[in-house]
Amino acid sequence: MSETLTENRKRQPRSPLSGVKFDDSAPLLEVENLQVEFHTRDGIAKAVQGVSFTLNAGETLGILGESGCGKSVTAQAIMGILDTPPAKVTGGQVRYRGVDLLQMDEKTRRHVRANKIAMIFQDALSSLNPVFTVGWQLGELYRQHAGASRKEARAKAVELLEMVGIPAARDRVNDFPHQFSGGMRQRVMIAMALALQPDIIIADEPTTALDVTVQAQVMALLADLQREMQLGLILITHDMGVVADVTDKICVMYAGHAVEQANVYEIYERPGHPYTKALLESIPRVDQKGEELTAIKGLPPALVNPPPGCSFHPRCAFARDRCKTDEPPLYQLPGNRESACHYWEEVLNS
Amino acid sequence: MSDTMAGQSAGQTENLSTKSGANRSLWGDVRYELVRSPVFWISSILVLVILSMAFFPQLWAQTSPNTSGACPLQNARVKPSADHPFGFTNAGCDMWASLVWGTGKSVIVAILVTAGTVILGVTFGTLAGYLGGFADTIISRITDIFFGLPFILGALVFLAIFPERNIWTLTAVLTVFGWTSLTRVMRGSVISTKQKDYVDAARAAGASDLFIIRKHILANSIAPVIVLATIGLGSFIGAEATLTFLGVGYQRPTVSWGLLVSEGQNLALAGFWHLLVFPSAFIVITVLAFILLGDVLRDALDPRTR
């Protein structure tokens, strides 16, 4: 399989990206101080405030956080598919192999989207066009971006469906999205994301709409393909279990801020931010049968009018007076990790 | 829930039956659906008959009511008989021949107007819905202006300006007053389609705006327009009849269904029922045939209903 894939990479046509000078020694993806605002009737909502991270080839980054914390917006900003207006990227850089995507013209960026960075969406049923067969939708990627003929495109579609483990791919290629089961549909989405051999895949809650057993299968498939093709994978989720299994490092987001970044073992062992700690404590555990589930008190803050100081302080067990006024910077913690908490030492040792 | 289950199992049995590598395509499925629908056969045969009357009236009635001597006055308003089952018109022409030769004038205008309104409505509706913002404001305000004009009054004023009223002037006026509702429906439909996840997914896969409009937006938002257009086709036949009835549509010696109805309306109560019933029946059957055909086509084209 990997052989045919590298072959395909060579056969790609004169790309409209040939004029862009990618630096292969630069990291695969660097996001630096990304800022996104939404202009709403109630005011300006700062959905993403200074998120930074680096993703290398073959690496999996988990972006973790509650609904509304800005993780999907971060993904959409990287892809460049935010609805503008109301959204607006107000600052920062998104560098792919050293080239800032935010400065690119729309046409070039479109080709980056197809050939370099792909995205898997949460709900596969609504992310596939209901009136076309999955074969058509897969094949069209090749027809549009690689100039394949109808026949070639069809053969490619079958090949892709086989790759993601869809049984009887030759027949299923003519089926419509609604004729697939939920897990199979998510496999089709993965096939679509892989179609043009991107280097980066952003998976926005890829298993949220699936039941637990299917979740595990889909995640395993994604992890296998990622390893095989040395992809950079950004996994956006609120499911701590999913993250623990497959990611290398984790970026925890809260109210638009990246509040903690660390490697996955460290974060599970000794969280360095009260929010991460609270998240971990709220995972239901088999050995705590009969005990009441721990939940984080309160609600995530409104992004239009966030609390002053640290945005987590109203819900934080470690909060002092200082947290109400001083916004914590990202502290560098021992072991190449970061935490946006004034009292990170205390949290680490608690 | 049970619906989706049934749909899935139906899909699976279908898969099994066509398993031997048969290429099932969208159009193959559409054909499969259509040939099994009795409504499709009935409505399409009716439509074919109506179209053949419109374009080749001599196939159905040899002499046009406009040939000299075709309408002897002593036959005026003669009721249906075995030789002439549709009776005679107010002018003494054979009713059947008048209806057949009038088909063209009525149906062709309706088809032209429908085509015109669909083209305009889909184009402007898509532009307004997809682009939003300024383009949307301009197009929506223009449609508002047309909605503000009463249809009949507006058409009366416009038609009165033209010295000669024929197929083209009628088509132009009806199109100008008919495109706005289709535009509005298309705009709404495009706006709701635009927000679907698969449009985002297509953008994430690097599709251009033009591609998204052509494949994703149009294919998923055209259904209400098809339905409305087939209903519109019927109402345009009615509109032609109304305008003719009001004296700003076709003029004698042209024969059209509208003219026949307007004549019959006065005399039906005086006992000459056939003067009203037959032309009205032709209009009703034609409208119904087109609506049914549109309905069955829409169902067949939408894979979700399978």
Structure tokens at A261: 């970044």
Q: Domain coordinates of chain A in residue numbers? A: 2-9+22-247, 274-285+292-349
B205 close to A (CB below 8 A): yes
Residues 169-198, chain B, touching A (beta carbon < 8 A): 196-198
Q: How far is B103 from chain A (nearest CA, A)?
A: 37
Q: Is B17 on the interface with A (CB under 8 A)?
A: no
pLDDT band at B25 (very low <50, low <70, confident <90, very high): low
Question: In chain A, whose CA is at the least distance from the CA of B299?
Answer: A131
Q: What is the pLDDT of residue A11?
A: 45
Place of tokens 């406009």: B66
Cβ within 8 Å, pair A174-B23:
yes
Model pLDDT, residue B46? 92
- B115: Cβ–Cβ under 8 A, 6 or more apart, which residues? none
Total domains in the fold of chain B: 1
Residue B67, chain A, CB below 8 Å: the answer is: no
In terms of residue numbers, what domain contains B211?
A: 82-290
Chain A touched by B220 (CB under 8 Å): yes
For the cut 80, the answer to whether the pLDDT of residue B72 exceeds it is no
Structure tokens at A79: 């892809």
Element (H, E) at A227: helix A212-229
Q: Please judge whether A171 and B19 are an interchain contact, meaning their C-beta atoms are less than 8 angstroms apart.
A: yes
Cβ contact, residue pair B206, A129, below 8 Å: no
Query: Which pTM value belongs to this model?
Result: 0.75
Q: Is A87 on the interface with B (CB under 8 A)?
A: no
For residue B9, the chain A residue with the least C-alpha distance is A179
Closest partner CB to B303 (pick from A127, A176, A192) = A176
Whether chain B has a CB inside 8 Å of the CB on A234: the answer is no
Residue with tokens 């605002």: A37
d(CA B100, CA A164) in angstroms, rounded, equals: 61
- Distance between terminal CA atoms of chain B? 15
pLDDT at A12: 46
CA B95 to chain centre: 25
**Best residue in A131, A180, A194, A199 to probe B by mutation, most B CBs within 10 Å?**
A131
The reply to whether residue A119 touches residue B201, judged by beta carbons under 8 angstroms, is yes
Q: What is the 3-state secondary structure (H, E, C) of A286-331?
A: HHHCCCCCCCCCCCCCCCCCCCCCCCCHHHCCCCCHHHHHCCCCCE
pLDDT tens-digit map of B153-195: 888 888 888 877 888 888 888 898 888 889 999 999 999 888 8
Q: Chains A and B: how many Cβ contacts under 8 Å?
A: 96
Span B223-236, pLDDT tens digits? 888 878 887 887 78
Determine contact: A123 vs chain B, CB below 8 A.
Answer: yes
Whether the pLDDT of residue B122 is over 90: the answer is yes
Q: What CATH code is carried by the domain that includes residue B251?
A: 1.10.3720.10
Return d(Cα A280, Cα A284) in angstroms, integer. Answer: 9
Q: Which residues of A, range 101-120, sit inside 8 Å of B by Cβ?
A: 110-115, 118-119
Residue B287 has pLDDT above 60, yes or no: yes
Residues B233, A159 contacting (CB under 8 angstroms): no
Query: What percent of chain A has a predicted confidence (pLDDT) above 90?
Result: 0
Count of beta carbons in the 10 Å neighbourhood of residue B66: 15
Between residues B192 and B207, the one the model is more confident about: B192
- Give the per-residue pLDDT at B27: 66
Give mean pLDDT, residues B273-289: 86
B2 belongs to a structural domain: no
- Are the C-beta atoms of residues B200 and A113 closer than 8 Å to each other? no
Helix B26-35 and helix B274-301: axis angle, to 10°?
140
Distances (CA, A) of A311 to A69, A256, A279, A307, A337: 11, 9, 16, 5, 20
- Whether residue B206 contacts residue A145, with contact meaning beta carbons closer than 8 Å, is answered with yes
Partner-chain contact A121 B23, CB within 8 Å = no
- Strand A117-120 and strand A99-100: the pairing is unpaired
Please indicate if any CB of chain B lies within 8 Å of the CB of A143: no
ipTM for the complex shown: 0.76
Whether chain A has a CB inside 8 Å of the CB on B21: the answer is yes
Cβ separation B219–A179 shorter than 8 A: no
Q: Quick check: A129 contacting B, CB < 8 Å?
A: yes
Given CB atoms, is B302 within the 8 Å cutoff of chain A?
A: yes
pLDDT at residue B109, as a whole number: 87
Topology (CATH level 3) of domain A2-9+22-247: Rossmann fold (3.40.50)
B contact test, residue of A107, A174, A181, A236 with most B CBs within 10 A = A174
Cβ contact A81–B203 (<8 Å): yes
Percent of chain A with pLDDT over 70: 93
User: Does a structural domain hold residue B104?
Assistant: yes
Predicted local distance difference test score (pLDDT) of residue B45:
93
Exposure of A199 in the CB half-sphere (CA atoms within 13 A): 13
Task: Evaluate the CA torsion angle A175, A176, A178, A180 in order and state its sign.
Answer: positive
Tell me phi and psi for residue A94, to 5 degrees: -125, 100
Name which of A123, A131, A192 is nearest B303 (Cβ-Cβ): A131
Rg (CA), chain B: 23
B6 pLDDT higher than 50: no
Question: What is the reported pLDDT for A289?
Answer: 67
Digit-by-digit pLDDT tens for chain A (350 residues) are 444 444 444 444 446 676 777 777 778 888 888 888 888 888 788 888 888 888 888 888 888 888 878 888 888 888 888 877 788 888 888 888 888 888 888 888 888 887 888 888 888 788 888 888 888 888 888 887 777 788 888 888 888 888 888 888 888 888 888 888 888 888 888 888 888 888 888 988 887 777 777 888 888 888 888 888 888 889 888 877 777 878 888 898 888 888 888 888 888 888 888 888 888 877 777 776 666 777 777 777 777 777 788 888 888 878 788 888 888 888 888 878 888 888 887 777 77
**Residue A133 in contact with partner chain B when CB distance is under 8 A:** yes
